[in-house]
Chain A
């Protein structure tokens, strides 16, 4: 598989500080998300009236929220939800983006023109705004937010992939592959795609970054993950009202969002340095 080979190449090629730091941060968060699927110290929605808004302690290391729920368990569930939504978002966004961008860049001509003008029109809206419109059409909720963000992320990926293809399509190796009788699909996915992968990977990481922020933003606005399920954005919003008496409600979800964004940003930086 040429795609996997070139990902390997990136890992082998670069061990700079940015890349490593990013890998460690996202790795740790990813492991927490993974563990959160099977185990949390407490049930994330279990309430306990006697420990409402209690400060961090050994039993509850991130403290308890306004309903006596364990903030650490909720942060774990929040990371899991955020990770899931942003992964799906990037998958949908980059999947369709690659197909559309590759087709436009490879074939060119009128097809390219039409596709990219539609793309530009969508691109004119900030992706979060576009997601807001889609969510208001579909209604709020976990699944709908995933779909909305996925659609909203397609244009940026399509544009990057297209420009990558444009620069590669007239190169000698493409011409010779064509002379050897390779089909369009084979040339697109086996020959050209691996060559634009470093650029693509870097933008996938930035995409993760934006997806995490967008999900947190939508949940913060109350149209993402619905309570009582936990989401980092939702916790931030609820915690915000209690900043003076129980700051841990907002502090920890906020910190985790910062770390997640930082991790992906460092990774993206590291990859583009390697390329």
Chain B
């Protein structure tokens, strides 16, 4: 009996070894290769590429949808669905020539009608609201010249206009982009199981360099404590944006750690419309009480880059390190400001944080400790991602929150629009007449130097009025199974799954 069991065990083990040998993947671009990538949050804000607001959703759609142009890993705009474009001398007419043979994931070819439809969908202002892409109010007309050419006319020249042409191209016949996820990117969408996973598959008819790994499974790991175990246990091959202690926990295992930046503005965002944050002195006091460097020491072993306003370092045209010194830690000054504002004995408030984002949760803990020194009590309120999106981001039902705001397309207008009094996504309810005025001037300006100066003034105002307590652009530690290589960092918040490949495969 015992012997029989032994033989069976040996047999099973041999079979397991043989089977795992098969899946090891010495396969060049065959559809069998698979990678499982852990993501901290579900796609709770939907899948409509023109409507999603969460950076975590956008970075996945980055692989599924493309615009006429798209960002490469240096941050430059390269032609995608369009093969070429011309700008008229007065800067008012953009003519795009569509690339030959670009197919949607359902096999149909991209036509000029699809392009016109997609851009029109984003420029329609319904019911007095801003269009889906607010700067598209600048478009006066969109014309289909012929089957391969689309012409867009502007009201006023805009040097940043091309960046908005990264807007996803969808089919004109697509009446429900929320459920019909059909784009032109290197990966096509297969399925989404809420709270569990998202399945993607390499698109065989992709116009450019095809994806190397056949199947991508995005597994939702909303419990931060499970990340390291899932990585070590082999149920996920990759996870982005780890903390430094999670990284040290992975030492000696079969993971390579890549280091880049997250490209977002992490801050203690304050709801400017609730007491006591409607008082600029209180907001400034909080800025004085917080020390970004100390937060970096705790969260990421000292790495990260301090920010003093809404712009982060990779957006180098507007990032100004001088703003970082507007509020160096000064407990006495913070106390004096609080006293002036009538909060001599401090006050208490709660910081809402999405529980799945470990770096943000740890940041909030450090902030709570720092605020104690000036007599302010901060309680943490950990919430699920979907309730963060609905309660905090959409309904502004919060006092303060720690989150990072990404930027795509990378334009100053896109970055700063949300701080205008009625701006879309102004969840901090920041409202300043001076800011609105300068922003409007900047948008209207046609001279690049003048415009840049005005946008910089906007950033300056955000810092002076302490719209929120800006902290840092976090470093991004990416754990990647050492059998896989090719991870690319982008200067925007994006994940490029198509560049990943199994190392065996490259040697062949």
A interface list, Cβ under 8 A from B: 45-47, 49, 52-53, 66-68, 140-141, 222, 226-228, 237-238, 240-246
10 more contacts with CB within 8 A, not counting A45-B369, A241-B249, are A45-B372, A49-B294, A67-B365, A226-B381, A226-B382, A227-B361, A227-B365, A240-B229, A241-B229, A244-B249
Residues of A contacting B368 in the complex (Cβ-Cβ under 8 angstroms): 45, 228
User: Cβ of A228 and Cβ of B225 under 8 Å apart?
Assistant: no
Residues of B contacting A226 in the complex (Cβ-Cβ under 8 angstroms): 379-382
Residues of B contacting A46 in the complex (Cβ-Cβ under 8 angstroms): 369
Contact A242 to B249, CB < 8 A, known contacts A226-B381, A227-B382:
yes
Residues of B contacting A227 in the complex (Cβ-Cβ under 8 angstroms): 361, 365, 380, 382
User: Cβ of B225 and Cβ of A240 under 8 Å apart?
Assistant: yes
Interface CB pairs A-B, < 8 A, 6: A47-B366, A53-B245, A140-B382, A228-B369, A240-B225, A245-B245
Residues of B contacting A68 in the complex (Cβ-Cβ under 8 angstroms): 298
Q: Give the docked Cα–Cα distance between A45 and B366 (Å).
A: 9
Residues of A contacting B229 in the complex (Cβ-Cβ under 8 angstroms): 240-241
- Say yes or no for B228: interface residue by CB 8 A criterion: yes
User: Cβ of A66 and Cβ of B225 under 8 Å apart?
Assistant: no
Main secondary structure of the interface of B (DSSP, over half): helix
- Say yes or no for B326: interface residue by CB 8 A criterion: no
Q: Give the docked Cα–Cα distance between A243 and B245 (Å).
A: 11
Residues of B contacting A222 in the complex (Cβ-Cβ under 8 angstroms): 355, 382
Q: Which 9 A-B pairs have the closest CB atoms?
A: A49-B297, A240-B225, A241-B225, A228-B365, A66-B245, A237-B225, A226-B380, A241-B228, A227-B380
Q: Give the docked Cα–Cα distance between A237 and B380 (Å).
A: 16
Q: Give the docked Cα–Cα distance between A67 and B369 (Å).
A: 11
Residues of A contacting B224 in the complex (Cβ-Cβ under 8 angstroms): 241
- The 8 Å CB contact of B380, one of A49, A66, A67, A228, is A228
Main secondary structure of the interface of A (DSSP, over half): loop
Q: How far is the CB of B368 from chain A (nearest CB, A)?
A: 5
- Say yes or no for B246: interface residue by CB 8 A criterion: yes
User: Cβ of B380 and Cβ of A242 under 8 Å apart?
Assistant: no
Residue of A nearest to B302 (CB): A49
Contact A67 to B366, CB < 8 A, known contacts A240-B225, A241-B227:
yes
Q: How far is the CB of B211 from chain A (nearest CB, A)?
A: 31
Residues of A contacting B382 in the complex (Cβ-Cβ under 8 angstroms): 140, 222, 226-227
Q: How far is the CB of B336 from chain A (nearest CB, A)?
A: 24
Residue of B nearest to A65 (CB): B245
- Say yes or no for B362: interface residue by CB 8 A criterion: yes
Residue of B nearest to A237 (CB): B225
Q: Give the docked Cα–Cα distance between A240 and B223 (Å).
A: 11
Interface 1/0 per residue, B215-241 and A, CB below 8 Å:
000000000110111000000000000
Q: Give the docked Cα–Cα distance between A141 and B352 (Å).
A: 13
Residue of A nearest to B296 (CB): A49
User: Cβ of B362 and Cβ of A67 under 8 Å apart?
Assistant: yes
Q: How far is the CB of B349 from chain A (nearest CB, A)?
A: 14
- Say yes or no for B507: interface residue by CB 8 A criterion: no
Q: Give the docked Cα–Cα distance between A212 and B366 (Å).
A: 28
- Say yes or no for B248: interface residue by CB 8 A criterion: yes
Residues of B contacting A245 in the complex (Cβ-Cβ under 8 angstroms): 245, 248-249, 251
- The 8 Å CB contact of B381, one of A52, A53, A140, is A140
User: Cβ of A242 and Cβ of B355 under 8 Å apart?
Assistant: no
Q: How far is the CB of A42 from chain B (nearest CB, A)?
A: 13
Interface 1/0 per residue, B193-218 and A, CB below 8 Å:
00000000000000000000000000
Q: How far is the CB of B293 from chain A (nearest CB, A)?
A: 10
User: Cβ of A241 and Cβ of B246 under 8 Å apart?
Assistant: yes
Interface 1/0 per residue, B104-134 and A, CB below 8 Å:
0000000000000000000000000000000
Residues of B contacting A240 in the complex (Cβ-Cβ under 8 angstroms): 225, 229
Interface 1/0 per residue, B274-298 and A, CB below 8 Å:
0000000000000000000010011
User: Cβ of A242 and Cβ of B365 under 8 Å apart?
Assistant: no
Q: How far is the CB of A152 from chain B (nearest CB, A)?
A: 21
Q: How far is the CB of A250 from chain B (nearest CB, A)?
A: 9
Residue of A nearest to B369 (CB): A47
Residue of A nearest to B301 (CB): A52
Within 8 A of A (CB), among B360-393: 361-362, 365-366, 368-369, 372, 379-382
Residues of A contacting B227 in the complex (Cβ-Cβ under 8 angstroms): 241
Q: Give the docked Cα–Cα distance between A65 and B379 (Å).
A: 20
Residues of B contacting A140 in the complex (Cβ-Cβ under 8 angstroms): 381-382
- The 8 Å CB contact of B298, one of A45, A52, A141, A244, is A52
Q: How far is the CB of A245 from chain B (nearest CB, A)?
A: 5
Within 8 A of A (CB), among B294-326: 294, 297-298
Q: How far is the CB of A174 from chain B (nearest CB, A)?
A: 51
Q: How far is the CB of A133 from chain B (nearest CB, A)?
A: 15
Among A49, A141, A243, find the residue whose CB has the most chain B CB atoms closer than 10 A: A49
Among A45, A52, A245, find the residue whose CB has the most chain B CB atoms closer than 10 A: A245
Q: Give the docked Cα–Cα distance between A209 and B297 (Å).
A: 40
Residues of B contacting A246 in the complex (Cβ-Cβ under 8 angstroms): 245
Residue of A nearest to B246 (CB): A241
Q: Give the docked Cα–Cα distance between A222 and B249 (Å).
A: 22
Residues of B contacting A243 in the complex (Cβ-Cβ under 8 angstroms): 249
Residues of A contacting B379 in the complex (Cβ-Cβ under 8 angstroms): 226
Residue of B nearest to A240 (CB): B225
User: Cβ of A242 and Cβ of B245 under 8 Å apart?
Assistant: yes
Q: Give the docked Cα–Cα distance between A46 and B224 (Å).
A: 23
Residues of B contacting A47 in the complex (Cβ-Cβ under 8 angstroms): 298, 365-366, 369
Q: How far is the CB of A64 from chain B (nearest CB, A)?
A: 12
Q: Give the docked Cα–Cα distance between A62 and B382 (Å).
A: 27
Q: How far is the CB of A249 from chain B (nearest CB, A)?
A: 10
Within 8 A of A (CB), among B329-371: 355, 361-362, 365-366, 368-369
Q: How far is the CB of A30 from chain B (nearest CB, A)?
A: 27
Q: How far is the CB of A16 from chain B (nearest CB, A)?
A: 40
Q: How far is the CB of A255 from chain B (nearest CB, A)?
A: 18
User: Cβ of B225 and Cβ of A238 under 8 Å apart?
Assistant: yes
Q: Give the docked Cα–Cα distance between A241 and B365 (Å).
A: 17
Residues of B contacting A52 in the complex (Cβ-Cβ under 8 angstroms): 245, 298
Residues of A contacting B225 in the complex (Cβ-Cβ under 8 angstroms): 237-238, 240-241
Q: Give the docked Cα–Cα distance between A257 and B7 (Å).
A: 42
Q: Give the docked Cα–Cα distance between A241 and B362 (Å).
A: 14
Residue of A nearest to B227 (CB): A241
Residue of B nearest to A227 (CB): B380
Q: Give the docked Cα–Cα distance between A226 and B368 (Å).
A: 12
Residues of B contacting A53 in the complex (Cβ-Cβ under 8 angstroms): 245
Q: How far is the CB of B55 from chain A (nearest CB, A)?
A: 22
Q: Give the docked Cα–Cα distance between A45 and B379 (Å).
A: 12
